[in-house]
Amino acid sequence: MASLLLLIGLTTKASLMLQCKCKNIIPQGRVNLGFKVCVDCSTTEQYGCAPLINHKTGNSIQIMSSSDAARISKMTQRRGYGTMLG
pLDDT of 48 reads: 93
pLDDT of 63 reads: 94
Alpha carbon distance, N-terminus to C-terminus of the chain: 72
**What phi and psi values does residue 25 have, to the nearest 5 degrees?**
-80, 130
CA distance 57 to 33: 35
What are the residue ranges spanned by the domains of the chain? 15-43, 47-76
CA distance 58 to 26: 40
What is the mean pLDDT, run by run of 10 residues, along the chain of 86 residues? 45 64 89 89 88 81 91 77 54
Task: Determine if the pTM surpasses 0.75.
Answer: no
- What DSSP string describes 35-52? --S-TTT--SPPEEEEEE
pLDDT of 3 reads: 46
pLDDT of 11 reads: 46
